[in-house]
Structure 1
Amino acid sequence: MHIRPVKHTDADMLFTFFEQLDRETNFLLFEPGERNPSRQRQEIRLQQILESNSERMWVVTDEQRISGYLGLRRGNVHRNRHAAIIAMGLLQSCCGQGWGAKLLQHAESWARGHQIHRLGLTVMTHNERALRLYQKQGFVIEGLQKDSLLVNGTYVDEYLMAKILT
């Protein structure tokens, strides 16, 4: 397995990956079937990312399937162009093998080379594994969003986290 930028030819693998990811975890924003309800919409979204000056996506793959991803979206106006928001997810079979740390390090390296000074993210407060990973990679909790999400009928808090790249 390795990390590489997403390619246009990844649309089918991404569709399959996101379907499985959203079924496997309640720690992400999307519920099953909500992210991209069709392969065609996945292709359109992928094309938008590939053509964007402010978005990037990397995948963990063995070229047969995608097992993880990290998406980055930087600000698109002068006052927030130095900052980027990231989101990531790994299939359960890929967790605990260091791929999350490698994705974060890859994104940070890219960000440093593209004048990004701040990386931000949100994480559910009870997602202890992700929280440990982010803290280990130098992210700090900056705030708390109470009742930020509604997951299975229960309101869930999220931490706002960031890492300043010096």
Structure 2
Amino acid sequence: MESEKKPPGVEIVRFENEHISYINDMNEVFPIFGRLVPSFQGGVWTHEEELFGRKSFLRFPDDRLDWESYIGSDRKAVFLAFHGERCIGQIRLVQDWTGYAYIENIAVRGSHRGSGTAARLLDEAERWAREQELHGLSLEAQDDNLAACRFYLKQGMILGGADTLKQAFNPEIGTTLYFYKIFEASE
């Protein structure tokens, strides 16, 4: 569970009232340079990568939620990564009805991507999920966010499904992919 690479000077803290102003700070552009192409055969999900000829950039809209409902809750949580006084990353989780900790969002400032911060946040999410006695972690990603898909796979998550209709109202999104990290009973 513990990341091999610990970014120096990064502290992970539980979200509190004084952090509300930081919550959308990590919502920066990210590169779109390819897609993960899923395939389901014989009851097993596999994938290939398709690289695009041209790189583009995307930014998700800011989240507008009842942030205070995450504070002190045992059903949902936000953890923030700080480098000194600067908030550089976040991970937001809720207990899903399936028994997983569903990762609603994970984001790291562009200036700190590749530093190990996202892996540390994922470790914190796993720690929290285990404390809540959940079965594992789950999340959704768009197929064309190849950098994120590669990261989730590198962190030991597995592809567990694909949905071409979930985001059908949004012409910018093709396929939603579902990733899971299932905790073994002996862990």
Interval of TM-score (by shorter of Structure 1 and Structure 2): 0.7 to 0.9
CA distance in 2, matches of 1:101, 1:119: 13
**1:96-137 Cα deviation digits (max 9, x unpaired):** 111111111111122112201121100111212111111111
Alignment of 1:1-166 (within 5 A): 1-15=10-24, 17=25, 21=27, 23-25=28-30, 30-31=60-61, 34-36=62-64, 45-62=66-83, 64-75=85-96, 80=97, 82-86=99-103, 87-149=105-167, 153-166=171-184
Output the amino acid matched with 2:111: S
Larger displacement relative to structure 2 (151-160 or 104-113): 151-160
Q: Which amino acid aligns with 2:177?
A: Y
Inter-CA distance 140–82: structure 2 relative to 1 (3 Å threshold) = same
| DSSP-derived class of the 2:69 partner | helix
**Larger fraction in strand:** 2
Structure 1 gaps, min length 5:
37-41
Aligned-residue CA RMSD (Å): 2.4
Aligned length: 148
**Range that drifts further, 59-68 or 133-142:** 59-68
Q: Distance in 1 between matches of 2:69 and 2:84?
A: 22
Aligned equivalents of 1:27 and 1:5: distance in 2?
A: 28
Identify the structure with bigger relative contact order (alpha carbons < 8 Å, sequence gap 6+): 2
2-structure distance, mates of 1:137, 1:159: 16
Asked if structure 2 preserves the Cα contact closer than 8 Å seen for 1:144 and 1:158, the reply is yes
TM-score with structure 1 setting the length: 0.77
- TM-aligned CA deviation for residue 50 of structure 1: 0.6
The alpha-carbon deviation at position 52 of structure 1 amounts to 2.7
Do the aligned residues in 2 keep the contact of 1:8 with 1:50 (CA within 8 Å)? yes
TM, length-normalised to structure 2: 0.69
Give the percent of matched residue pairs that are identical in Structure 1 and Structure 2.
Answer: 22
**Any runs of at least 4 consecutive aligned residues in structure 1 with deviations exceeding 6 A, and if so which?**
none
Cα distance change, pair 159–135 in 1 and its aligned pair in 2 (3 A): same
Instruction: Output the CA distance in 1 between the equivalents of 2:98 and 2:133.
Output: 8
**Alpha-carbon shift at residue 24 of structure 1 (Å):** 2.1
Q: Is the 8 A contact 1:27 1:127 kept in 2?
A: no
Structure 2: which 5+ runs fail to align?
A: 1-9, 31-56
Select the structure that is richer in helix.
1
